[in-house]
Amino acid sequence: MKSFARVTKLSNVGGRADYITDPQRQENIVASSPTVDWKPYQDYEAANRKSGEKNNEGREVMIVLPNEWETLPPAVLSERAQKIAVAAISKDTDMQWAVHLNSAGTKDPKGRTREVDNLHLHVVFSERSKSGEISHYDRDVYHTDDGKVARSKAQRAKDADGNDKPPVHRKGDAKGGFTPKDKGYKEYGWKDGMKSRVKAEMERMGATIEPPDLVHQRHEGKGKDAQKIRAFNDTIREANKQLDIYAAEIVQTPQLNPQHDKHSVRPVLKERLIPRLLAVLKEHLFPILAKIDGQWKIGSSDVAAKAIETMRKSGGAAARPAPIHAARPQSMAERIAQAKVEADKRNAARSAPPEARIDPRALLGEIFAAQSELYEKLKADPPSDGRLTAAQKAAQNRFCGLLRKIAPGDREAVRGALKAAQSKFSEHGGAMGSMAYYKAVIELDRAIEKGLSEPPPGRGYGSRDRGHGER
């Protein structure tokens, strides 16, 4: 199966939780967690908004599960769903989940007929956690007319008679007993980290996760362009099928692929075909990848149905595929701009300081050791709301300092090596042990992104080389 996970913000967490667990509104709910009383969370968000708009009350993660799991006993499926939910959001409280099964032949929300069964997991959760410490307001709190906190008497909202409206909170009122929102859910790398953790957890359960499609589909949504985006996605799905056929041919050709390894074909496709297909999409045309007279060719069409028909006939029946329009070649201005970008990259590499050109292989041993040290410290004392101890911060600084020495051109390879090493960290304890593992892993993800996103030290990166510039 191909992995898929989507995250959305929720303005009505209670309503969404009711929706995913309502048998009247769902085709088939095969497993679900105990219900959560979301009203205290909603009341707290309503009472503590800082603008005229409602606060986001929570988030939802939707994760595709292997269809083979629909035959599992309910207790086993529930146990797996709970572990995947914990892996996704890195906590086992303030959440509610449900597993849905949509059968083949039924209609999806867009009105399309499903070709295969669709087993998936919905996880609704709050970015806050309940706190055992309940604080109280030390003064009356008033709102302005647009719902913000009034900072002076003049800003207070007025009633029809011009008098101050009553305060929204009285001095001594309890603040609700919730922690601040975990900022980690807003960080740039959280979604990728979540997908990696879910993938690793599902693989530990025996699921086989295939690489994602080489050409990604677009989010359809419900806007005015939804129908056109749907047509593009239909064409992209057909193009991905053609890419699979092309890859299978390369795998079976000893001259091109001596090892018969289908995964080694993907870099070849990314280099030869994907940029050309993406160039067609950028022109707002429908891409075509078809085998014509024994040769694979890329073209385009301004009609989605024509593009799909051409690809489906490709290399099949005796009927000759429809003629393909040649992809638009690069203009002179585009070629000049591309040459300038490549020249800038070469100049940046030549002017990089010696520290930025360190061979990553010379540092990998130290980096792996620092990664392991940080992981052990995080697992031994799981951080609360992203707050690290002094020892954990020192280990994080050592780890990030080593990562900053890696040249920009080598960082993607180092990131892959770190992720591979991180996937080997395992946890076989109970619920608390599992929680410690996931909290440690999410902090490791943050440290990796932090270290590899900062520029190397030295000249050309905002700081002065040591030994230079002395007066």
pLDDT in tens, 442-452: 888 888 888 88
**Whether residue 320 has pLDDT greater than 60:** no
Helices and strands of the chain, counted as H and E runs: 13, 8
* Of 22-31, 391-400, 408-417, the least confident: 408-417
**Whether residue 205 has pLDDT greater than 90:** yes
Residue-level pLDDT at 109: 62
CA distances from 346 to 335, 356, 394, 409 (A): 17, 14, 36, 11
Whole-prediction pTM value?
0.56
pLDDT category of residue 325 using cuts at 50, 70 and 90: very low
What residues contact 463, with CB distance under 8 A and at least 6 apart? Answer: 457
What residues contact 281, with CB distance under 8 A and at least 6 apart? Answer: 232, 236, 287
> Partners of 31 in the beta sheet?
99
Report the alpha-carbon distance of residue 460 to residue 388 in Å, rounded.
32
Average pLDDT of 406-435? 67
Residue-level pLDDT at 60: 96
What residues contact 7, with CB distance under 8 A and at least 6 apart? Answer: 59, 60, 61, 191, 194
CA atoms within 13 A on the CB side of 394: 4
Query: Is 115:56 a contact under the CB 8 Å cutoff?
Result: no
Residue-level pLDDT at 75: 94
**Whether residue 373 has pLDDT greater than 80:** yes
**Whether residue 23 has pLDDT greater than 50:** yes
| Burial class, 211, CB count within 10 angstroms (exposed 0-12 / middle 13-18 / buried 19+) | exposed
Residue-level pLDDT at 392: 87
Average pLDDT of 281-304? 84
Q: Which amino acid is residue 259, in one-letter code?
A: Q
Report the alpha-carbon distance of residue 383 to residue 434 in Å, rounded.
14
Most confidently predicted of 77-86, 140-149, 281-290, 452-461: 77-86
**Whether residue 98 has pLDDT greater than 90:** yes
Most confidently predicted of 27-31, 352-356, 425-429: 27-31
* Of 24-38, 125-139, 274-288, 334-348, the least confident: 334-348
Residue-level pLDDT at 29: 93
Question: Distance between the two ends of the chain, CA-based, in angstroms?
Answer: 63
Report the alpha-carbon distance of residue 286 to residue 270 in Å, rounded.
19
